[in-house]
Amino acid sequence: MERNPGPLSLASTAIWAAALLIAAMVGLDLYLVSQGLGAVEFKAKQEGQSVYLEAPLRNRGYLPLGLNITLRLCQHRYTWSSTIPPGGEATARLRVDPRDLGCKPRWSIGVRLGDLVSAEIRPASG
């Protein structure tokens, strides 16, 4: 004789469907954000005695995008962080010591997708 599915079984199926939907949405958002960040290019801009590295950023996903950009030049660290709303735009701006511009840049980027997923991207060599 076949049994009727119990309430726990129905609950787990419902939660499972919701969890899969959320996971798929986060995966799609991660893909959209990575496509947007892949095209980012920083350009040096001189203003008086200071040099700024600027890049326009756009959140192509549908979750708030928290960004924490760190640039290491010579012995100095320059950081910029902000949260971009879905579909919103921002300009990342790092004020850099002009004497450091000859050094090899080492970027590391921290990404938060609506506090559901966070990622850190940095050079593989450490």
Partner 1 sequence: MTWSLRRYAPPPGRVWAAIAAAVWEAFFWVSIPYLVAAFVPGVDLGLVIPLGALISLCAGVEKLLPGHVVGAAFGLLGSALKIFIILGATSWGTMSFEAEGRLVTLDVRLIDALLTVPIVVSLVGKMLSVGVSVKERR
Q: Which residues bind partner 1 (CB under 8 A)?
A: 1-3, 6, 8-9, 11-13, 15-16, 19-20, 22-23, 26, 115-124
Least distance (Å) from partner 1 to the CB of residue 64? 15
Nearest distance in Å: CB 8, partner 1: 3
Look at the alpha carbons of 104, 43, 62, 67 in this order and tell me if their dihedral is positive or negative: positive
The CA distance from 9 to 7, in Å, is 5
Q: Of 16 and 77, which has the nearer Cβ to partner 1?
A: 16
Phi (first) and psi of residue 125, to 5 degrees: -80, 10
Report d(CA 71, CA 83) in Å as an integer: 18
**Least separation, in Å, of the C-beta of 46 and partner 1?**
29
Q: Which residue lies nearer to partner 1 by CB, 19 or 39?
A: 19
